[in-house]
Amino acid sequence: MTAGVSTRQIGGLSGRRILIESVYPAVEAGRFPVKRIVGEPIEVWADIFRDGSALLAAELLWRAEAASTWSQVRMRLDSNDRWTASFVPTHEGLHAFVIEAWTDEFATWRRDFLLKRDAGLDVTLEAREGRALLASLKPASDAEFSVMQQAYRASDGDPAALLAAEIAEAAIKGSRSDLSRSESFPLMIERKRARTGAWYEMVPRSQGRLPGQHGTFDDCIARLADVAAQGFDVLYLPPIHPIGSTNRKGRNNSLRAEPGDPGSLYAIGSAAGGHDAVHPQLGTLEDFRRLLAACGDYGLEIALDFAVQCSPDHPWLTEQAKWFKRRPDGSIQYAENPPKKYQDIVNPDFGCADAAALWAALRDIVLFWVDQGVRIFRVDNPHTKPLAFWEWLIREVQAVDPGVIFLSEAFTRPKVMKALAKLGFSQSYTYFTWRTTKHELQAYLSEITGYPECEYFRPNFFVNTPDILPLHLQSGEAWIFKARVALAATLSASYGIYNGFELLEHEPIPGTEEYLDSEKYQIKVRDWNRPGNIKDYIGRLNRLRRGNPALQQTTNLRFVQIDDDDVIGFVKESTASDNAVAVTIALAEAPPRQFWLHFGDLEIGPPGQRRHVREIENLVTGERHQIEWGGVRLSIDQSQDPALLFRCFP
C-alpha cells in the first residue's frame, strides 16, 4: 500500500515548475564572488525552462550589497533555453545578482490565438479568454495599466485589439505565474588597478647614494622620476617597519650579524614599534605620507608589504604574550620552512585562546595604513595562515574601502593558491617565474585563463623577487632579461620586477636561486644608469601596454601556431573587442631566424562583426604586413629584440 501525496507536497512540487540552471558567471555555484571591474559590462546567462510549451519571461536583478533595492533588466532568449542579459556596475564593492523567471500567460495566449486563427479555426472563445485574462492581470506600473486598459476596452467586439506588441510587453509581469528565483550569486566589483598594473619592487633602505648609508623616504622620492619614466604604475615596498636586534641575521642570511648589519626586512618589530610604525632610519610617518603624495604626482600607487610575523623584539611579545605559542622549555618557536630556518622571526599563534583579538589587531593594522593612504597590500606567505582569516580580513577592510587591493604571495600548491584567490585576494603570484618552454607557458596560461579560473584568479607575473633569481636569468645576458619581461608584460595584465632586474643583476649564491649579497639582509647602493641597463626597453613595453587595451587584460588570450619550438605566439583582444595585438617572443638563444605566424581561422572584433585578421602593424617600427594564406612570414633577432608586437586589423 502506497502513501498518498499531501497538498503541501503538491504545492512544493508545482512551485518548481520553472528550472534555472547553469548560471554564468559563478564560482563554486555562488560560494565565492566572481571578480569584475567597475564600469565594464557583465554578461549573465542561464538555462531557463519548464514543462510543456508555455512561454517564459525572465529578469536579471542586481544590487550592491549595501543597497536596499534591486536594479533589473529583462533577459532575452537566445536559443536552446539559454537566456542572457548584461548590466554595468557603477560602484566598487561586493554585489549580488539573481535571476527570476515566470510563465508569461498573456504571451502564451497570444501565440496560441494567432496559431489557431491563422489555421482558419474558430477563435471566438479564445478571444473571450484573452480578454478575461487581460482583465485579471496586475500591471507593474501606471503606464502599463493605461495600455492594458485601453486594449481591454477596444477589444470588446474586436479581439485584434489584444494582439498589438505593446500589449504583450505591458502584460509580461501581470501575473508572474509560477515565479521562480535563483540563488544569489556574489560579485566583487573592483577598480581597474586590481586587474592591470606594472609593479616595481623597491627596497627603500637601498635608495641612498653612498655605500653603506641607510636610505630614507626622501631618497625614495628622488627615485620616483626614474621609476615613472619606465612606465610603472605601482611602487611596491617590502616591510618599512622597525627591525629587531635579537637573533638578527647578517649578510647572506648569516646567523651572526656584524656591527652595522641592518638585519632582515622581515624581522618586524623593535622598541621603536611594530607593524604600525616605520623604521626610524627611513624617516617619520609624515615622511612616508610625503612619499605617498609624491607618488600620486607621478601617477604611481604604493603597495605595502603585509607580513604577519614578528621579531622577538616586537612589542606584542610582551604586550600580547598570549598570542604566541610556548615550547616545553618556555621559549617561543621561531619560524621555519624546513629546511629553512628563520631564527630572527616568530609567528603569532592563530589557534590561541585569544584569536579573536589577534584577528582584530591585524585588521586594524591594515586599516591604519589605509588611513595613511595605502590602498594596495602585497601579503607575504598567506598560505601559512588560516584561509578563513583572510576571507574575513579582506571583507572587513573592503567594507571600509572597497578599492583596497590584496596581492597573494603564495608559492605553494596550486589548489591552495586558487583557494586564496577565490576567498578574496585580488591578484596572485604565479608559477610563471619557472615556466620557460613554449609548452610549459602555453599549458600554464591555458590553465589559469580557462573557466572557472578566469572568473576569480588574476595573475601577477613577477619575473624575479628578492628571494628568487631564476636559473634562466643567471647568465646575465640581456636578451633573456628582455624576453622574460616581454613575456610577463604581454601575457599578463599585471606583472612586476624587483629592482636590479633592469640592471641585469644575476649573481647567485652558487647552486641556488637566491641572490648573492641579498638585499634582504644588507644595504645595496647602485648606479641606476650604469651601462648595459634595459630601462628604455622596459619603458617601451609599458608604453605599449598603456596604448593597447588588449594588453591590459589576461583572459582573452589565444595561442597561435608558429612552426618553431623556440618562438611563442599569441593574440590578445581587449574586453571591448576594439583592440587586438599579436605577439611573438623568442624563448631560446639562437641566430636570427624566420618563421611563419599562422592566424588560420582566428577572428577579431565585436560580436556580430568578427572578421579574420587581414593586416598587422609593428607597434615599434610601424611596418605593415598583409596576411596571405592565413599567415605571415616574420623575422626575429633576439640579440636585438626577442619580442615582436603587432596591432591586428580585420
**What secondary structure does DSSP assign to 40-96, as a single string?**
S-EEEEEEEEESSS--EEEEEEEEETT-SS-EEEE-EEEETTEEEEEE---S-EEEE
3-state secondary structure of 185: strand
Beta strands in 489-579 (DSSP E): 494-498, 557-559, 561-562, 567-573
Tell me what pLDDT residue 7 has: 54
* Residue carrying the nine cell digits 523567471: 101
Cell of 210: 653612498
* Residue carrying the nine cell digits 560580436: 607
Alpha carbon 183 to its chain centroid, in Å, reads 24
- pLDDT tens, position by position, 391-444: 999 999 999 999 999 999 999 999 999 999 999 999 999 999 999 999 999 999
Q: Residues 6 or more apart from 573 whose CB is under 8 A from it?
A: 550, 556, 579, 580, 604
Tell me what pLDDT residue 366 has: 98
Q: Is 149 exposed, middle or buried (0-12, 13-18, 19+ CB in 10 A)?
A: middle
- 4 pLDDT band, cuts 50/70/90, is low
Which among 301, 313, 409, 502 is annotated as catalytic? 409
List residues bridging with 635 in a β-sheet: 594
The answer to whether 117 and 96 have CB atoms below 8 angstroms apart is no
Handedness of CA 459, 463, 466, 471 (dihedral sign): positive
Q: What is the DSSP letter of 291?
A: H
Which among 105, 380, 455, 502 is annotated as catalytic? 380
Q: Is 293 exposed, middle or buried (0-12, 13-18, 19+ CB in 10 A)?
A: exposed
Tell me what pLDDT residue 1 has: 44
Please provide the average confidence, as pLDDT, over all residues in the chain: 94
- The C-alpha atoms of residue 182 and residue 100 are separated, in whole angstroms, by 6
- pLDDT tens, position by position, 577-613: 999 999 999 999 999 999 999 999 999 999 889 999 9
pTM of the prediction? Answer: 0.94
In 10 A of CB 70, how many CB atoms? Answer: 14
Cell of 360: 582584530
Q: Of 3-7, 90-94, 449-453, which range is least confident?
A: 3-7
Tell me what pLDDT residue 12 has: 52
Known catalytic membership, residue 409:
yes
Q: How long is the chain?
A: 650
Tell me what pLDDT residue 6 has: 61
Helices (H), 556-639: none
The answer to whether 187 and 95 have CB atoms below 8 angstroms apart is yes
- Count H helices and E strands in the chain, helices first: 14, 31
Question: Within 13 Å, how many C-alpha atoms sit on residue 408's CB side?
Answer: 31
**Mean pLDDT over residues 141-159, rounded?**
81
The answer to whether 225 and 496 have CB atoms below 8 angstroms apart is no
Tell me what pLDDT residue 597 has: 96
Known catalytic membership, residue 297:
no
Among residues 32, 28, 38, the alpha carbon closest in space to that of 87 is found at 38
Tell me what pLDDT residue 526 has: 97
- 138 pLDDT band, cuts 50/70/90, is confident
Distances (CA, A) of 323 to 221, 244, 312, 353, 392: 37, 18, 13, 8, 19
- 104 pLDDT band, cuts 50/70/90, is very high
- The C-alpha atoms of residue 145 and residue 240 are separated, in whole angstroms, by 65
- For a pLDDT cut of 70, what percent of the chain falls above it? 98
Encode burial over 547-563: b for 16+ CB neighbours within 10 A, e otherwise: ebbbbbbbbebbebebe
DSSP 430-491: -SGGG--SHHHHHHHHHHHTSTTGGGT--BEEES-BTTB--GGGTT--HHHHHHHHHHHHHH
